[in-house]
Every structure is written in C-alpha cells, then in structure tokens.
Amino acid sequence: MASESVTLFLLCTVVMMIVRILMGFSKRKIYKFPPGPTPLPIIGNMHLLDIVRQDLSFMEIAKKYGPVFTFHFGSSKAVVLVGYEANKDALVGASHDFGNRAPIPISDDFQNNHGVIFSNDEIWKVTRRFTLSILRDLGMGKKPIEGRIIEELQFLNAEIQSYNGKPFPKKVLYFAAPNITFRMLFGRRFDYDNPTFQRMISLMDDIVVNTGTPGAKYYNIFPMLKYFFKEPGLVMDRINRLNEILKVLFKEAKEAKYEESFRTYIEAFMQKDEREKERDEKEKIFTEKNLLASAFDLMLGGTETTSTTLQWCILLMMKNPHIQKKAQDEIENVIGLERPPRWDDQKVLPYCLAVAHEVQRCANILQYFPHTTATDVHFKDYFIPKGTTVIPLFTSILNDETQWETPNQFNPNHFLDADGKFLKKDAFFPFSKGRRVCAGESLARMELFLFITGLLQKFTFTPPPGVSIGDLDLTPEVVFTMRTKNYHVCATPRN
C-alpha cells in the first residue's frame, strides 16, 4: 500500500506540473514581428547596414520587406518604419504606444534619464510639462521672443557685413540661434567673440561630432564594447567641461534671481528646486542633475538644429540663385529692404515661408530618433512587445515619392498651391510628430523664418571667387545631425 501511495503521489505531482506548464503556455503572449532579413549569429543584420547612412540602408531594405520591417541590431530586434503612411500611423495614430525614448548609450551615459529629450516615465512627463510652460511664459512663439530674434538678426547682419563682401566661413551662420536659447536660459546674450560663448559652442560642437561617429554608433548597438571606443570618454569629458561653465552661469542666476518671480528658465527651475526641499531625495525631479540635463537638451535643440538648418539654407541659396532671387523679389516688393521682417509677414511672404520649409525638408537634420513601445502594441497585422526599439525614419518621410512631387530636388513649390499661397503638408516631419514632437518647434519655426527672410533681405549670397555653382557639394557630413560640408560664402549687400 505504501508503494502504491508513493506512486499515486508522484503521478499526481507530474500531472499537476504538466497542467501548470500547459497553463503557462496558454497565458504566454504570442508576439508577431514584421518580416525582415534573416539575422546572422551575434551581429544580427549589421552586415546590411551602412553605419553612417543607416537611413539609406533601411530604405533599400524596405523595397524588399515593405514599409514596416524588423531589423536585428546584434541580438536586439527593432521595428523600422519607412515612409509617410507607416510613420503617421505610429507616431500620430498610436502616439502613446510608440511614445517612449529608446536607450542611446552614448547619451544615456551623461543624461541618465534626465532632461526632456532622452528621458522617460515620470521625470520626462514632469520636466517636459514644466519646460513647455516656462518657455511659453518667457514668450516662446510670441512677441517678446520675436523682438529678440529680430535684434539678434541685426547682430548677425552686422557680423556678415564686417567681411565687406569677402568670403567668410559657414560657422558665422551658427552664432545667432544659440543666443536666443541662451537668453531664455540665462537672461543674457553673448557677443560672438565672447570667450565663454565660444567655449560653449566649441564644446557643443565636439559633443555633436563625437556622438555621431561610427565608433559611437557601434557603441550604441554593442554597449559591452564601451572601452574599445574612444568616443564615450571624449563625450563625457566635453560634457563635464560644459557643465562646469553651466554651473557658474547657474550660480550667477541664483544670486540675481527674484524671490516671487522669474526671468529665465534657470530661475524658474531653481524656484521649483527650492519647493522640493522637503521631498525625499529619491522623489525629487528638480535637481541640479536634471537642470544640467535640461539645459543641455535646450542648448542642443536650440543651437545645433536651427543653426545647421540656417547653414543649409545659405548653401542651397548659392546652389539655386533663381530661387534666392525670387525670394528676394518677394521681400522687396512686399516689405521693402529697410524694416526687418516680422512673424506676421509669413502671411504675405508665402514664397519665403515655402523656402524656409523646403530648406528643412531637404536638410533632413536627423535621419531618425529611436523610440520604444510603451506597452505591448497591436500595429497593423503585428503584435509588438513592450520595450521594442522603433525607428521612425525621417529621411524616408521627407523624401517620400508619394508625398513630394520632386523629393530629390530643392523645390519650394512643394509648399505652394496653384495660386502661390502657402500650403501645409502633413508629411512635413522635421520636428517629428505625436508625443515626442520637438518641444521648441514654435520657437524654431519663428527663428528660421525671420533669420532666413532677414538675411535674404540684406544680402545676396554667392560662392567665393573661383568656386562655381557646380562645385558646391550638397552631400551631408553625418555626425549626430546631418550637417553641410565646410564651405565659404560671399555676401553682397542689397542696397
């Protein structure tokens, strides 16, 4: 009897284990990824990827596997979205599901889930909401900022005028936009030759370059190789140097701040920090670490992208003198050559507004900015698990043949209707869309329109002597962003 009892007990145990296993299988979610190329061991699909122009590689792969496909970065799966329709459905139609930021080791090393660009969860929600509110209070998209942009335009015009028609480097065009951001952050502008200004610009440049090298991109895919690449150390060194400058500026702001109001983003942030002193250290959001991260994000967004777009604009004006002339004629006929342009002039300068938009489309500053799924997602015919990296390929949207008549040409008519009136285009994605749309979009739009119109009002831009239009190279220099190659330009006054 004892042996029979033991046998019965063991049999019941085995049956229960089988039932539990079967129940586990029945509860397990069956995910379905989009099709994609077959991965190789260890490297995944990396043999198919041009590490510098990943966008072109993805667009080529999409020809075989469709606009939504799976790509293996080593052992990690990512879903790539190619073209306007796929990205619209994900970023706009399912904004929350696709709304988290993917890990980017080269930036996560110093941002550590802080700031407004590279963060997620509660710290992102609170910091972004605060940042948008304060920037609006400081005049983003309104008259106060318009006045500062127009004032900065005069400084930029004077700097260009100082070359007396002789060639000057493209870096001169980089100096105006940072001062708009610095005024909102620190309450002051810097002369272009100010050592602190030049140091901050130089450090930002080093960071942008070193986070976009092939070594940095391989590190992002294979983080375990960190110490085999020089870029992580170089970037952290530049970040530490930049933070030392920022801390000095923060200290100055703290000493000058008002008790019951604020004049800058830094002052507003510090007031929040004061009110959080009673909270547990782990729960605090308005810390110095988050302030440094947020200031960096605003500097990156307000310096690199706008300034680089402006550099693309002048290069494209030299390359397309007939378009430059048409924009200048509109300016001269409508507002003249004396009073500076205003934001409201976009209503009466449709061609100039179209030029500003087409520059952004052709410049294509970012190939993509990776997201992750915030939850398990049913998307089209697929079931994608939470935490999957998603690549919304901006290049493929801004060059989508179904949305643009001549996607590979600089053509302001893309943004004009048959009557010459400005035409909004849904496929215009330079600021992304949905939950992760650029927080400074309204500021960048105003800056670009006023700077571009104001420069074309005062100058005609041509290649230096001995350089023909055919010599001008539109091939981008790929770093963290897509920059122009180095060039020089001559500016002839229009008076």
Please identify which residue in the block is written with the tokens 């030029």.
355
Name which of 450, 429, 275 is nearest 365 in CA terms. Answer: 429
**pLDDT score for 385:** 97
Phi/psi of residue 63, each to 5°?
-65, -30
Please identify which residue in the block is written with the tokens 């007031």.
271
Secondary structure class of 348 (helix, strand, coil): coil
**pLDDT score for 11:** 57
Name which of 357, 444, 426, 432 is nearest 391 in CA terms. Answer: 432
Which of the 8 DSSP states describes residue 44?
B
**pLDDT score for 19:** 42
Which helix H or strand E contains 105, and what residues bound it?
Answer: helix 105-111
Identify the segments of the chain with pLDDT beneath 70.
Answer: 1-28, 256-261, 273-274, 276-282
Burial of 344 (0-12, 13-18, 19+ CB in 10 A): exposed
The tokens describing 115, both together, are: 């700031």
Please identify which residue in the block is written with the tokens 């029945």.
26
Instruction: Judge contact between 285 and 122, C-beta under 8 A.
Output: yes
Phi/psi of residue 315, each to 5°?
-60, -45
Instruction: Judge contact between 320 and 355, C-beta under 8 A.
Output: no
Name which of 264, 82, 127 is nearest 189 in CA terms. Answer: 264
The tokens describing 211, both together, are: 């986070």
**pLDDT score for 433:** 94
Instruction: Judge contact between 420 and 110, C-beta under 8 A.
Output: no
| C-alpha torsion angle, residues 423, 427, 430, 433 (rounded to 10) | 110
Report the residue count for the chain: 495
**pLDDT score for 495:** 76
Q: Please state, in angstroms and rounded to a whole number, the distance separating the CA atoms of residues 291 and 344.
A: 34
Instruction: Judge contact between 165 and 489, C-beta under 8 A.
Output: no
pTM of the model: 0.91
Chain-centroid distance, C-alpha 494: 34
**pLDDT score for 219:** 96
Secondary structure class of 183 (helix, strand, coil): helix
Q: How many CA atoms lie within 13 A of 22 on its CB side?
A: 6
Instruction: Judge contact between 365 and 305, C-beta under 8 A.
Output: yes
Name which of 63, 125, 68 is nearest 377 in CA terms. Answer: 68
Chain-centroid distance, C-alpha 366: 6
Q: Which residues pair with 490 in a beta bridge?
A: 462
Instruction: Judge contact between 219 and 229, C-beta under 8 A.
Output: yes
Name which of 103, 33, 32, 30 is nearest 70 in CA terms. Answer: 33
Handedness of CA 443, 291, 200, 179 (dihedral sign): positive
Q: How many CA atoms lie within 13 A of 244 on its CB side?
A: 8
Name which of 115, 59, 46, 113 is nearest 86 in CA terms. Answer: 59
Secondary structure class of 202 (helix, strand, coil): helix
The tokens describing 174, both together, are: 């980089």
Instruction: Judge contact between 206 and 239, C-beta under 8 A.
Output: no
**pLDDT score for 12:** 45
**pLDDT score for 259:** 54
The tokens describing 412, both together, are: 């302001």
